[in-house]
Amino acid sequence: MSKRFAQVKEELLKQRRDLLYEVSNSYETCREIGQDGVPDIGDMSSVAYSRDVLFNLSETQRRRIHDIDVALEQIEKGEYGICMSCSEEISPRRMEVRPFSRYCVECKTDIEKYGE
């Protein structure tokens, strides 16, 4: 594994650890919300909204963890930085900004427009 890929791998592993920590904290916060007595109807609405926000946030984080895991697999296979759709190299700038990118800009745009 090249030095560059080793650095990318370390950064991805750090991002993964950070996200897992955030997901864990979000989960604990959701469990604690509304556990502090008998709420009135306004409190119940606020609690429900807060839980929804935290659950959605952690789902987004779970997707990010999945993307990072795929990037780590690609590094191990020697396919890191190659678009999973067109097999062309993903621009180094895109990989720098979003090191877990699986698609080049053109393919990602098509996927967002037309679905996978």
Q: What is the pLDDT of residues 27-76, one digit of tens each?
A: 666 655 555 555 555 555 655 655 666 666 677 888 898 999 999 999 99
Give residue 87's pLDDT: 97
Q: What is the pLDDT of residues 78-114, one digit of tens each?
A: 999 999 999 999 999 999 999 999 999 999 999 998 8
- Return the higher-pLDDT residue of 15 and 34: 15
Q: What was the pLDDT predicted at 79? A: 94
Please give the Cα distance from 103 to 94 (Å, whole number).
Answer: 10
Give 82's strand partners: 89
Domain 1-80 belongs in CATH node 1.10.3720.10? no
CATH 1.20.120.910 domain locations along the chain: 1-80
